[in-house]
Amino acid sequence: HADNEDLKKAKKKVCGYPLSIFFIIVNEFCERFSYYGMRAVLVLYFKYFLRWDDDLATSIYHTFVALCYLTPILGAIVADSWLGKFKTIIYLSIVYAVGQVAMAVSAIHDITDADRDGTPDNMTFHVAMSMTGLFLIALGTGGIKPCVSAFGGDQFSDHQERQRSTFFSVFYLCINGGSLLSTIITPLLRAQDCGIYTQQKCYALAFGVPAALMVVSLVVFIVGSGMYYKAKPQGNIMLDVCKCIGFSIKNRYRHRGKQFPKRAHWLDWAEEKYDKLLIAQIKMVLKVLFLYIPLPMFWTLFDQKGSRWTLQATNMDGNFGLLIIQPDQMQTVNPILILTLVPIMDSVIYPLIRKCGLNFTPLKRMTVGMLLAASAFVSAALVQVEIDKTLPVFPSSSQSQLKLLNMGNNPVTLSLPNNDLLNLAAAQVSNLMKITKLEILKLRGKSMQSKIPLCDSTKPEQGNNAIRFINGLSTEVRVSSSLVDFGIIKPSGYSNYSLVENGKITFNLSSGGRSCDYSREFGYGSSFTFFIPNNLVIGPTTESITVIEDIKPNSVHMALQIPQYFLITAGEVMFSVTGLEFSYSQAPSNMKAVLQAGWLLTVAVGNFIVLIVAELAKLPMQWAEYVLFASLLVAVCIIFSIMAYFYTYIDPREIEAQFKKSTDDDSDDESRQYKKGLEMASKNYKSDYGDHKDGRETKM
């Protein structure tokens, strides 16, 4: 009776579609915006807010992603065996929203900033809040992932196949749309300055907007509650598969003696308890899952676009003329290329390859996809080599760096440690020198007036520029800009470094009741010292200010990352889309949930591999790590291609048909029946499309 009532509610239609699906589509868009928006800025939050190093930030990021791909298995079991899809989505969405709010709260620096210096005083609170939030988000987003699309499909009647197909197309368009918009918007929000007492990068807003979208997603889904068809839990096929495999292993162990006759397949030991058709279906699934063993390595590389590649972009120039691209916004290249490449591959590339007489089977496509991902990391390594050339080389613990500035009006000559002579004109600075011990510099006829620290020991973060002024005048000078006040600088004194953003900055210099402006254009990640010579006349011109470049700005353009994004996305299209399509064609329709669980498990394992390599390899150069990952994937790709060569394509429907015709329960006959069905299915594929070893396309 309850099912009939739910069906009546689902009958409300708009343009032939159940009204309930519009709530589901809005819900999915908001949820995907929330997830990808938060994830886009996550690794920079670890690095710049929690002050973690690159390796720890990368490790925690990939741990979170791995959990997001493990929890869908749990969510599917809970929905199918206990709560049902509707209640599972509601309960886990609440958990999800709480996690997003916890992340937003963890990013408010003023909560523990008692001294109001812009830095949290109790970092333990922020770490604990963020880790709790991420765990809840992983539980929520993973748990509802397998439920929402299936729940949407449940809203359609059997005669609405066309509408159901359209729904899934729009559904996945919403996923890509939410991903694309969020990876554009949340980095912009992060780049803003906000705070109650001090202004810092606004991670709280970057996490707060996704949290608000998750709350909207939950509310929209609840509003449509009265219109949904809510199917009762029917049991989960994954549990049945695991129980069958477990019983088979246990039964085989019990009958391990030589007095017991052998069986054709180890799964045949489950025949005493389980249906022979189910056992045959599990055999087909295990054949596909065996091919999944090498696949995690692809995801090891693919998911680093959100961690290592984003960190790589922080040392690059994001000025595209009319647009200033944030490092975490480069991830938008992936969804844009996905929406572009999928139709191009399906409509142009694959048909063209077929016309050329090449046999581009699904397993071959996956192999090429893995090679493309490996080449993407080779490209990333080449970009990293160029970046490394522009990074400052800081001295070791046994060395010091020295730069000499002549603050007088007359040229001076200095005797250097190696007895070379250095001539410095007035208001000029020497090149950078390295010294390995304390040396006494003899200034002919005069003594050194002051010692000024050389520069910051690190490159300025987040694309900012570190600026300071040295006063060579005999009077005090006040230096300020619209954003930064350097304060009053005493004669022969210097200001502390202050951070300014890229673009044109105008500084105001005032002394003795007179003032003047000095303007300069800044790039990304540089450090400058500006020396005010003692012969400077405060007035309309400031041409005589000496500019000392302590650290060069980022000069490698962010556009150089586009080739590696193109290669990894092309690899994703050929690997991921083809992989799922192939898997579903080679296993019974009622086993799709098992294959999806196996596929998601490969993603999770791939992210755990990043942790292992990042922690164990400890390579000093980042480009070497990229090459290592590319080499590992090529090695795995060779293994996969060998496995694919020996794989025999089958038609699950024909094998199932053989079992349905059979009424003989004898195990030996059944084994022969299974072999016969397998041989017939293989022969049909060979006769229609050619031998799989010749690479013929398979019937999907």
> Which position has the higher pLDDT, 427 or 190?
190
Mean pLDDT computed over 29-35 = 93
Q: Are residues 151 and 294 in the same domain?
A: no
Q: Are residues 93 and 191 in the same domain?
A: yes
Instruction: Point out the least confidently predicted range of 257-261, 322-326, 493-497.
Output: 257-261
Strand partners, 503: 522
One-letter identity of residue 344: I
One-letter identity of residue 626: Y
Q: How many CB atoms are located within 10 Å of the residue 475 CB?
A: 11
pLDDT for residue 211: 96
Residue 280 lies in a domain: yes
Question: Quick one: DSSP state of residue 524?
Answer: S
Q: How far is CA 141 from CA 32, 66, 193, 207, 260, in A?
A: 9, 12, 29, 15, 49
Q: Are residues 512 and 578 in the same domain?
A: no
Residue 260: which pLDDT band, with cuts at 50, 70 and 90? confident
Neighbouring residues of 243: CB distance < 8 A, sequence distance ≥ 6: none
Helix (H) or strand (E) holding 106: helix 85-106
DSSP per residue, 371-426:
HHHHHHHHHHHHHHHHHHHHS-----TT-EEE--B--SSS-EEEE-TTS-EEEE-T
Residue 531 lies in a domain: yes
Residue 365 lies in a domain: yes
Return mean pLDDT, the chain: 83
Q: Are residues 66 and 187 in the same domain?
A: yes
How wide is the angle at C-alpha 691 spanned by C-alphas 687 and 697, nearest 5°?
85
Neighbouring residues of 1: CB distance < 8 A, sequence distance ≥ 6: none
Q: How many CB atoms are located within 10 Å of the residue 306 CB?
A: 23
Q: Are residues 459 and 513 in the same domain?
A: yes
Q: Are 26 and 213 a contacting pair, CB within 8 Å?
A: no
Residue 670 reports pLDDT greater than 70 = no
pLDDT in tens, 607-648: 999 988 877 877 888 999 999 999 999 999 999 999 988 888
Q: How far is CA 537 from CA 212, 472, 475, 530, 563, in A?
A: 56, 12, 12, 16, 51
Instruction: Count how many domains the chain has.
Output: 3
User: Following CA atoms 140, 142, 148, 151 in sequence, which dihedral angle do they give, to the nearest 10 degrees?
Assistant: -100
Residue 689 reports pLDDT greater than 50 = no
Residue 444 reports pLDDT greater than 90 = no
Mean pLDDT computed over 162-179 = 82
pLDDT for residue 255: 84
pLDDT in tens, 123-154: 999 999 999 999 999 999 988 888 888 888 88
State the Cα–Cα distance between residues 130 and 64, nearest whole angstrom.
11
| Domain's final residue, options 521, 551, 581 | 551
> Which position has the higher pLDDT, 356 or 664?
356
CA dihedral sign of residues 470, 475, 476, 480: negative
Q: Are 432 and 393 a contacting pair, CB within 8 Å?
A: no
Q: Which CATH number characterizes residue 603's domain?
A: 1.20.1250.20
Closest by alpha carbon to 57, among 283, 290, 327?
327
Q: Are residues 30 and 103 in the same domain?
A: yes
| Domain's final residue, options 516, 551, 586 | 551
Residue 695: which pLDDT band, with cuts at 50, 70 and 90? very low
pLDDT for residue 360: 83
Here the tokens at position 478 are 């006040």
Residue 377 lies in a domain: yes
State the Cα–Cα distance between residues 405 and 424, nearest whole angstrom.
8
Residue 267 lies in a domain: no
One-letter identity of residue 619: L
Q: Are 71 and 623 a contacting pair, CB within 8 Å?
A: no
pLDDT in tens, 78-102: 888 888 889 999 999 999 999 999 9
Residue 17: which pLDDT band, with cuts at 50, 70 and 90? confident
Largest CA distance in the chain: 112
Q: Are 202 and 192 a contacting pair, CB within 8 Å?
A: yes
Give residue 354's domain range: 275-390+562-668
Residue 430: which pLDDT band, with cuts at 50, 70 and 90? confident
Mean pLDDT computed over 233-240 = 78
pLDDT for residue 619: 83
pLDDT in tens, 495-526: 989 988 888 899 988 888 888 888 888 888 89
Closest by alpha carbon to 678, among 180, 280, 97, 300?
280
Across the beta sheet with 465-471, what order do the strands follow?
A: 498-500, 465-471, 527-532, 546-551
Q: Are residues 218 and 130 in the same domain?
A: yes
pLDDT in tens, 674-688: 455 545 445 444 433
Residue 263 lies in a domain: no
pLDDT for residue 663: 44
Residue 679 lies in a domain: no
